Amino acid sequence: MTNKNGKYESGKYHTIEITKNVGITINDERVRLGIKKKNDKGVEYPVETDYFVCPKRIREIFGEEPTELTVYFPDAHREIVFPQAYEKYGRNKAMQCQGDGEKSAQKKDQETGEWETVKCPCEHFEKSCKKVGYLRFMIPSVSIGTFFQCAVHGTVSINECNMGFYTADKTTGGRWAMIPFRMRRVAKKLKIPGTAKMKTHWVVTLEVIAGIEEIRRVMAGELLYLGQLREGSQYQLKEPGPQEGNEPIVEEETDEEEAARLEKAKADQKARIKESEKLDKRQAELKKEIEEGKHNVRTPEETKEIKVAREKKIAELETTAKAYKVFDWAGIIEVGERYGILPKGFRKSQAQTFITDHPDKYDELLGKLKTDQEISDEDIPDRKINEDDVPF
């Protein structure tokens, strides 16, 4: 059968079945959270740093020991850009097992090399089998085509990153792909298991650093990523000139193709206008509902009274916590999570609001603070590791 007008049909074939499943491929340039040192016997062990240990080309942009990076995630799904699991590795650094820590895992048969589904957890859980999350991101100021990866092992750091993505979902309506995040190392004091001592640990945090209008422009497709068109920006995309690459081959457009293209452009414009009108209508309705008293809008005096009452309860809780050697909110939150009083992933402000809004939870937390608290073993950065442990 002859093609339309006897011409080549651009885009007719676009997928090969055997190669269609493409994910985020990471190169060898990884961002790490520590360095390796040797003890007196020459055995290497990991030591946490208070900065990101980066490849050379990242250091050229952000400095030798950056404590903050501006990163972008190519996909707005946490499970894709920050997958998490329990993993066990052998002495040859090859993965032996990966599971969810609750129900099942996939384990490699060391004789046949085949993978099978097994029950999880097992006897290796929280020993040679450790939790880990892999942050997968881009840094356009360094390279627009490179995906970097950072392995996060600490319980607190994983919770902080999850909270960052949760907040991004709420503030952008789940559309945070190619929106800039601030990725930071933040010092927190955490209790050393089995002791009353505290130790400083540099956790990893994430937060969106874009305004509403900037986010809208990326969502509308006006920009590939924020900062792309910033004047003088070191990560501005440059259009290649004739001397920098082959000029594209342009075929003449038929009348039918031109009509179809113009019709599609009109339809896209109508859709954008309709979406904007819908948003304006909803904002007007919300304003009217507030004026009619349909929403719980408090007077300044009521707001002040509530604030004073909350501050008093929080002060009482902090006083009780210090009396039982829990010296900061990281420790208070950890106790609340461990006993199921607080939902996992809460930050300080969220935890304070939750317990002051739920008197029963407040009383329960007061009681539990009088017992010992401990954090997970891997949150102590300079501990000695087994030979089967995964290095940085």
Model pLDDT for residues 293-344, shown as the tens digit of each residue: 665 555 567 677 888 888 888 888 888 888 777 888 888 888 888 888 888 8
* pTM tops 0.75: no
pLDDT per position as a tens digit, 260-306: 767 776 777 777 677 767 767 776 776 676 667 665 555 567 677 88
Q: How would you label 131-159 residue by residue, b for 16+ Cβ within 10 Å and e otherwise?
A: bbbbbbbbbbbbeeebbbbbbbbbbbbbb
Q: Tell me the average pLDDT across 109-125.
A: 89
What would the pLDDT profile of 120-158 be if each residue is shown by its tens digit?
Answer: 999 988 888 999 999 999 998 888 878 899 999 888 899
- What pLDDT does residue 374 have? 43
The pLDDT tens digits for 66-84 are: 999 999 998 889 999 999 9
Q: Is the model's pLDDT at 249 over the cut of 60?
A: no
